[in-house]
Chain A
Amino acid sequence: MLKLAEYRTPEGYYDLPYIHVYDGDALTDGVNYRNINVGITQNNEGFALRQIMGADKIAGRVQFRDSFAPLNGADAGFVMPRTYPVAPERFITPVGALLMDLYTVARANRAALPVIIYFAQIAFQGAKRYMQPKGAEIVYPGRSDYKYKERPFTYVQQVVVGWAGTDPTPRKFALPVTEGCDFELQSLNIIRSQLAGAATNAVPNSEIKLQLFDQFGKQLSNAPVLDVYLNDAADAATHFYNPTFPVPGVLYRRQSFIRVEVTSLLLAAQLPATYEIYLQGVRRVQA
Chain B
Amino acid sequence: MNPHATPVLNGLTPEFPLGFIDVSFDYVYDVNLTALQQLRDQSVPIHTDSDFVLRAVILSQATGAFSIRFNDSQGYYLSSGFMLSANFLSGTVPYPYPIFPEMLFPAGSRIGIEINDLLGAPNTVQLLLRGAKRYRLPAARR
Contact = CB atoms under 8 A, between A and B. Distances in A.
B4 A48 contact: no
A133 interface: no
Interface size bracket, B side: 35 or more
Contacts of B126: 78-79
Interface stretch (B6-14, B34-42, B68-76): B6-14
B27 interface: yes
Nearest to A91: B23
A88 B12 contact: yes
B23 A90 contact: yes
Given A72-B28, A81-B60, A244 B23 contact: no
A8 B10 CA distance: 10
B20 to A, nearest CB: 12
Contacts, number: 109
Interface string A67-86: 01101111100111110011
A146 interface: no
Most chain A CB neighbours (cut-off 10 Å) among B2, B30, B126: B2
B11 A81 contact: no
B53 to A, nearest CB: 11
B28 A247 contact: no
A187 B2 contact: yes
Given A87-B24, A248-B1, A72 B9 contact: no
Interface string B28-63: 101000000000000000010000000000101100
B97 interface: no
Interface in B60-111: 60-61, 90-91, 93-94
Nearest to A141: B2
Contacts of B58: 81
B91 A247 contact: no
A244 B4 contact: yes
A137 interface: no
21 contacts: A4-B12, A7-B10, A7-B13, A8-B13, A50-B9, A50-B11, A69-B25, A72-B25, A72-B26, A73-B28, A79-B60, A81-B128, A88-B22, A88-B23, A125-B9, A186-B2, A186-B4, A187-B2, A187-B5, A240-B93, A248-B10
Given A5-B13, A88-B14, 14 more contacts: A4-B7, A8-B13, A51-B8, A72-B27, A78-B60, A78-B126, A79-B61, A85-B8, A90-B23, A127-B11, A186-B2, A236-B91, A246-B2, A247-B10
